[in-house]
Amino acid sequence: MPHESLLPVALINYISLSLVIFLIGVAGVVLRRNPLIMLMSIELMWNAANLLFLAFARAWLNNAGHIFAFLVITVAAAEAAIGLAIVVVVFRSRENVDVDEVAILKG
């Protein structure tokens, strides 16, 4: 049962905020050509999810939300590391840092 009284504002606000940040992150992934910006936008998306987890954990007084948020942070870190490694490897010997130029999966 949501104990909405525990939250500063109603739960719906957290949901909509999280959604907005998530969509901004999506927009960043799709609209930018720099791979680093794309990775950062992915981080935005992770954080939006984290926010939601913690909001509900607080509302329902359930620790599982915290645990999951912790896991999310960890995995996001790992993913960022690997993603950056890939970016480094792929774009090390290139002129420009543009994802559209790496379209070798075409066809």
Partner 1 sequence: MSLDVHQMGIPGSYPALFVIWLLPLAGAIACWAFGPQLKRYAGVLGSAVIGAAFIAALVSWNIATQDSGSQLGAEQHLFTWLQGFDFGLLLDPLSLIWVLIITGVGFLIHLYSVGYMWNDNAIARFFAYMNFFVFAMLTLVLSDNFVGLLVGWGLVGLASYFLIGFWFFKPSAVAAARKAFVLNVVGDVGIMFAIFIMIAKVGSVRFADVFANPHALDPWLFWTCVFLFIGAAAKSAQLPLHTWLPDAMEGPTPVSALIHAATMVTAGVYLVARCAPLWLASHEAQILVGTVGALTALAGALLGIAQWDIKRILAYSTMSQIGYMIMGVGVGAFSAGVAHFFTHAFFKACLFLGSGIIIHELSDEQDIRLMGGMRKRTPVAFWSMLSAVLAISGAPFFSGYFSKDQVIYGDIEHGDLWLWAIGLLTAGITAYYMFRLFFVTFMGTYRGDLKPADVGIETEVAASTAAIKHETSEPHAEDHTHAPAWLMAVPVAILGFFSFAAGYVMLPGNSPWAHFFAHSFPLERLPASTISEGVTTGIAIVMLIIGAGIAYWRYATPEALQNAPERLKRESETLPAILVRLFYWDDVIDWLFVKPSQKLGDFFGQWFDPHFVDGVVREVVFSNRFLGTVVRSFQTGLLRAYALIIVFGAACFAVYYALEGAMR
Partner 2 sequence: MIEFYILAFVLIASAIFVIIASKPVYSVVGLLVHFAALAIMFFSLAAEFLAVIQIIVYSGAILMLFLFVIALLSSGVAPFSLGSDRLPKIAVPATLGVVVILGFLIYGLAHIPAVFQPSPVAQSASGSQAGPVGAADVFGSVGDFGKALFTTNLLPFEITAFILMVAVIGVILLAGESAPYVQSRRRARIVEREMREAIMRAGEE
Q: Among partner 1, partner 2, none, what binds residue 104 when CB lies within 5 to 8 Å by partner kind?
A: partner 1
Residue of 2, 82, 101, 102 interacting with partner 2 (CB under 8 A):
82
Residue of 21, 38, 55, 69 interacting with partner 1 (CB under 8 A):
38
Nearer to partner 2, 78 or 102 (CB): 78
User: Which candidate, 14, 38, 43, 13, places its Cα nearest to that of 27?
Assistant: 38
Total number of residues shown for the chain: 107
Decide if 32 contacts 23 (C-beta within 8 A).
Answer: no
Nearer to partner 1, 22 or 50 (CB): 22
Decide if 35 contacts 99 (C-beta within 8 A).
Answer: yes
Q: What six digits make up the tokens of 4?
A: 């909405």
Residues that bind partner 1 (CB under 8 A): 26, 29-31, 33, 35, 38, 99-100, 102-107
